[in-house]
């Protein structure tokens, strides 16, 4: 069960003891929780800390990539940074430290699966980073974030996850079939501030991939990545090859 009493356990998990525990409590407080206690000025949501943490992460990641890859040009550095700080990546880092278990969220959000929703986990992770920065400074953020980011970076590079999947898929399909893949949104779940979209990509009437993301663009990117993986493993579907 997630409540304010869980805070010390979360501190144990992340290996940080806060000088100002209220900062961590705020970082773990989703807006839906505050909405249920409207008028109580002692309860503050994590949106301002999320704003700060997002900026801190961008700087940390940019600095790390700049120093680590002195021969890589600006374009690829931008792609690597985007892959590291995208919603799905930060949500995974949040999952790794069991962040969802400790969130303070509203009853409706709880019932709709909010604790495991990528957008909520991403934003809460950014808020935790913002809280650590305010409480203990950039060195503590580096110690907390850099090791899992480097593991994530290794996976991104090994699997070329930073390369624009939509462009790669379009080039491959156009070269073979001279047509453009079609993307369509097939579903959306969650409240307006934390929706997750499902997008499918098809060639004509043939579905070749689907993906989920915190925005339509992110979901389309995941759909393209799934399609590329399928094409690399199985090639073009036989139904399409018969029409060539």
For 174-187, how does the pLDDT look when each residue is reduced to its tens digit (9 = 90+)?
887 888 899 999 99
Q: Cα separation of 242 and 16, whole Å?
A: 60
Give the phi and the psi of residue 198 in degrees, each rounded to 5: -115, 130
Q: Give the model's pLDDT for residue 1.
A: 38
What is the predicted pLDDT for the residue at 36?
80
Q: Which of 54, 109, 135, 196 is catalytic?
A: 54
Burial class (CB in 10 A: 0-12, 13-18, 19+), 39: exposed
* Residues in CB range of 200: below 8 A, 6 or more apart: 183, 184, 186, 207, 209, 210, 223
Helix (H, G, I), strand (E, B) or coil at 202: strand
Active site residue 38: no
Look up 126 and say whether it is catalytic: yes
Supply the pLDDT for residue 153.
Answer: 94
How many other CB atoms sit within 10 Å of the CB of residue 172? 16
Q: Spot the catalytic one: 45, 50, 126, 200.
A: 126
pLDDT tens by residue, the chain, 244 residues: 344 454 458 999 999 999 999 999 999 999 999 888 766 667 899 999 999 999 999 999 999 999 999 998 898 899 899 889 988 899 999 999 999 999 999 998 888 888 999 999 999 999 999 999 999 999 999 999 999 999 999 988 887 777 777 888 888 888 878 888 999 999 998 777 677 899 999 988 888 999 998 888 888 988 998 888 888 776 766 555 444 4
Cα distance between residue 210 and residue 223, in whole Å: 4
């Amino acid at each position: 069960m997630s409540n304010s009493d869980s805070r010390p356990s979360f501190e144990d998990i992340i290996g940080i003891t806060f000088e100002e525990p209220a900062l961590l409590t705020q970082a773990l407080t989703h807006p839906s929780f505050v909405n249920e206690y409207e008028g109580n000025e002692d309860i503050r949501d994590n949106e301002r800390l999320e704003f700060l943490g997002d900026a801190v992460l961008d700087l940390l990641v940019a600095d790390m990539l700049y120093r680590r890859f002195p021969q890589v040009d600006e374009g690829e550095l931008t792609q690597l940074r985007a892959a590291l700080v995208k919603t799905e990546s930060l949500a995974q880092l949040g999952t790794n430290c069991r962040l969802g278990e400790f969130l303070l969220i509203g009853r409706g959000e709880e019932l709709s699966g909010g604790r495991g929703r990528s957008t909520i986990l991403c934003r809460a992770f950014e808020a935790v980073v913002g809280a650590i920065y305010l409480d203990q400074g950039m060195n503590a953020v580096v110690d907390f974030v850099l090791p899992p980011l480097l593991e994530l970076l290794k996976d991104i590079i090994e699997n070329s996850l930073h390369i624009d999947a939509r462009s790669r898929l379009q080039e491959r399909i156009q070269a073979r079939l001279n047509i453009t893949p079609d993307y369509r949104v097939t579903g959306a779940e969650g409240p307006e501030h934390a929706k997750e979209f499902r997008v499918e990509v098809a060639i004509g009437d043939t579905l070749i991939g689907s993906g989920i993301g915190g925005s339509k663009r992110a979901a389309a990117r995941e759909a393209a990545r799934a399609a590329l993986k399928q094409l690399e493993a199985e090639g073009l579907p036989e139904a399409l090859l018969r029409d060539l």
